């Protein structure tokens, strides 16, 4: 993945770690994507933000254990790769 996408993944992880409460996953992803310069990667639509947030939420809810930063990065990277390939 490009350096720009890795920076975006880092921003999403930091937002997820710092946000709490209902809707925090979508808010974290949306905030990171909106603040990310579109010149570095193609623009990610609101629908794609929802798709990424939904995938993250499903994984976080289904896990009985807290998910570490490395696992969060892996999940986000996978979802971004799917999104950016379309």
The pLDDT value given to residue 33: 75
Contacts of 12 (CB under 8 A, 6+ apart): 28, 29, 32, 33, 72, 76
Nearest to 48 by CA among 21, 17, 81, 20: 81
pLDDT at 4 over 70: yes
pLDDT in tens, 11-69: 777 777 666 554 677 777 777 777 666 655 567 778 888 888 888 788 777 877 777 77
């Amino acid at each position: 993945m490009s350096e720009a996408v890795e920076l975006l993944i880092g921003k999403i992880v930091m937002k997820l770690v710092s946000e709490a409460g209902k809707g925090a996953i979508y808010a974290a992803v949306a905030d990171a994507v909106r603040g990310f310069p579109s010149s570095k990667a193609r623009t990610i639509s609101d629908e794609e933000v929802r798709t990424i947030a939904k995938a993250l939420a499903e994984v976080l809810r289904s896990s009985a254990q807290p998910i570490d930063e490395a696992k969060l990065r892996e999940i986000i990277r996978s979802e971004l790769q799917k999104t950016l390939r379309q």
